């Protein structure tokens, strides 16, 4: 908990029980969806409301302590691995998500060939395929 408190303080966020519990849940459940996080938080704080968890997730994401990913067709997932520009591979069949380290070491194609005047700060890479479980069950 000490370490999580330090993260909150480092991001100039007030330390609250829901924020600590949500941050802890995201740290222990990589790529968890909101329902999973609510379940995990309720182990710590049984009376926590959905709204408090949503608000905490929003605050932590805005502060950059949590990264939110939402592959097309799936509910949003959250992870604590932030700021390293890693990518994700998503199973088309069961929706399982795994981390993929960046192959080039800097944000891919962040220098757009034509930025249309936008100030670009993110480029997202998602690999799609079948996980080993799903590809084995198919054959
Ligand atoms: Zn799968
Ligand atoms: Zn990840």
CATH for 117: 3.30.1490.190
Q: Are residues 7 and 64 in the same domain?
A: yes
Please give the residue that has the higher pLDDT: either 75 or 119: 75
Residue 109 domain flag: yes
Give the chain's mean pLDDT.
Answer: 90
CATH number of the domain encompassing residue 64: 1.10.10.10
Residue 107 domain flag: yes
CB 137 within 8 A of CB 121: no
CA of 121 to the centre of ligand 2 (A): 18
- Coil/strand/helix, residue 46: coil
Residue 34 domain flag: yes
Q: Are residues 63 and 9 in the same domain?
A: yes
> Mean per-residue pLDDT for 95-121?
78
Q: How many domains does the chain fold into?
A: 2
Residue 78 domain flag: no
- The pLDDT of residue 127 is 94
Structural domain boundaries, residue 50: 2-69
Q: Are residues 62 and 34 in the same domain?
A: yes
> Mean per-residue pLDDT for 35-42?
97
CA of 83 to the centre of ligand 1 (A): 27
User: Of 12, 35, 69, which residue is a domain's last?
Assistant: 69
Helices (H), 11-85: 17-28, 34-44, 50-62
CA of 93 to the centre of ligand 2 (A): 19
Cite the annotated binding site for Zn(2+) by residue number. Answer: 91, 94, 131, 134
Residue 74 domain flag: no
> Mean per-residue pLDDT for 30-46?
96
φ, ψ dihedrals at 102, nearest 5°: -65, 130
| Helix and strand element counts for the chain (H, E) | 5, 6
Out of 49-53, 79-83, 93-97, 106-110, least confident range: 106-110
CB 57 within 8 A of CB 34: yes
- Coil/strand/helix, residue 97: strand
User: Of 13, 40, 69, which residue is a domain's last?
Assistant: 69
Q: Residue 129 carries which DSSP code?
A: E
> Mean per-residue pLDDT for 49-66?
96
- Coil/strand/helix, residue 4: helix
> Mean per-residue pLDDT for 103-131?
78
Under the banding of pLDDT at 50, 70 and 90, the label for residue 2 is confident
Q: Are residues 38 and 96 in the same domain?
A: no
Under the banding of pLDDT at 50, 70 and 90, the label for residue 139 is low
Q: Are residues 9 and 64 in the same domain?
A: yes
């Amino acid at each position: 908990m000490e370490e999580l408190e330090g993260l909150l303080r480092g991001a100039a966020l007030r330390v609250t029980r829901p924020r600590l519990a949500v941050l802890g849940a995201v740290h222990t459940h990589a790529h968890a969806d909101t329902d999973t996080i609510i379940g995990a938080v309720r182990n710590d704080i049984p009376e926590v409301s959905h709204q408090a968890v949503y608000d905490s997730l929003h605050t932590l994401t805005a502060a950059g302590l949590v990264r939110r990913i939402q592959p097309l067709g799936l509910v949003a997932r959250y992870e604590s691995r932030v700021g390293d520009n890693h990518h994700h591979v998503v199973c088309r069949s069961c929706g399982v998500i795994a981390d993929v380290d960046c192959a080039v070491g800097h944000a891919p194609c962040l220098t757009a060939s034509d930025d249309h005047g936008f100030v670009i700060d993110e480029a997202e890479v998602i690999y799609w395929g079948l996980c080993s479980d799903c590809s084995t069950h198919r054959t």
